[in-house]
Amino acid sequence: MYLKLENVKKTYGDVKALKGISYTFKPGIYGILGANGAGKSTLINLITDNVKRDKDGGKILFCDEALTGGTEEDILKLGSKFRAIVGYMPQQQGFYEDFSPVAFLKYMASLKGLKRKDENGKTVMEQIEELLKIVNLESVKYKKIGGFSGGMRQRVLLAQALLGDPKILILDEPTAGLDPKERISIRNYIAKLSSDRIILYATHVVSDIECIAGEVVMIRQGEMIQTGSPVELIANMKGKVGEIYCTTANLEELQNTYRAGNVRQREKGLALRVVSDHLPEEAVPVTDTIDLEDVYLYYFEPA
């Protein structure tokens, strides 16, 4: 099973939201990493067929023995058959405020055309009960969504995306509004799902994907600028990460001068993380604590 993008483009008026993305996704977790406005949501909306593809917008092909007989087919040709195997969690979604999580998930199950029982013999209601337990909403499953916090609404959206055990799971900023404990719980659950399905996890929060993504696809201003496993991307940063010891008095000046990241408290004092192809003389090279945050800083923060 794989999902292939071939020169995928999208233009809104004079704005080129995507400038030709080509990539093949196989089962596993892919972190789609980029700043807000990079084109992540546009790409997702094309894959989910929520946005009309341009006439010269490239191809999005899917191959699966069960659905396509092992041949590549454009998802637009597959239509509802493809959409039936996709679980999608948008950044935001309007709710009927008087709906409870149970009512909303029943409604979404109906829209998805789920069978009364899945391949494992679970009824739709059994799936709903299980998912609400996973996203920690079991105790409020009959409460009105209108009274929910932003984080609780996010968990309802994640539950609906998982309905029907989709082969392709697409998550757009799934942990927005969640507290740290919930973020970890949701990430760990998503990691368990990755062995036999394609999971696209779009975010600008590096910590959400650094421990679970097998591959990272980095998008900037509508272009795919780098791909690789977290280990590979981190290895490529060797010699490009340093720390400058500073004080609160000169911190702002240094941040305005260099491509600067977090400030850390060290034994010798405050240390400002910087990345560059040519580190400044005052920077102490970092060798053993380089992480994906440094990769993000290198590619997405202005020099």
Give the per-residue pLDDT at 131. Answer: 93
Coil vs helix vs strand at 10: strand
Instruction: Enter the pTM of the model.
Output: 0.90
- Give the residue carrying structure tokens 């996973």: 134
Confidence of residue 216 (pLDDT cuts 50, 70, 90): very high
In sequence order, the 6+-apart residues with CB closer than 8 A to the CB of 294 are 234, 237, 240, 241, 261, 273, 275, 286
Give the per-residue pLDDT at 303. Answer: 63
Q: Can you give the length of the chain in residues?
A: 303
Q: How far is CA 264 from CA 218, 243, 254, 274, in A?
A: 26, 9, 14, 11
Give the dihedral sign, CA 230/231/235/236.
negative
Whole-number mean pLDDT of the chain? 91
Question: For 85-112, what is the mean pLDDT?
Answer: 90
Q: Is the pLDDT of residue 116 over 70?
A: yes
Give the per-residue pLDDT at 282. Answer: 92
- Which domains are present in the chain? 2-234 (3.40.50.300), 235-300 (no CATH)
Contact 21, 224 (CB under 8 A): yes
What amino acid occupies position 201? Y
In sequence order, the 6+-apart residues with CB closer than 8 A to the CB of 183 are 175, 207, 208
Report pLDDT digits (tens) over 170-194. Answer: 998 888 777 888 788 888 888 888 8
- Which segments of the chain are extended strands (E)? 2-12, 15-25, 28-33, 59-63, 72-74, 86-89, 168-172, 198-203, 215-220, 223-228, 241-246, 260-266, 269-275, 284-285
Report pLDDT digits (tens) over 53-64. Answer: 999 999 999 999
Q: At what angle do helices 124-134 and 150-162 cross, to 10 degrees?
A: 140
Coil vs helix vs strand at 151: helix
Confidence of residue 196 (pLDDT cuts 50, 70, 90): confident
Residue 83 to residue 79: CA distance in whole angstroms: 6
Residue 75 to residue 63: CA distance in whole angstroms: 10
Report pLDDT digits (tens) over 223-244. Answer: 999 999 999 999 999 999 999 9
In percent, the amount of the chain with pLDDT more than 90 equals: 68
Give the per-residue pLDDT at 182. Answer: 79
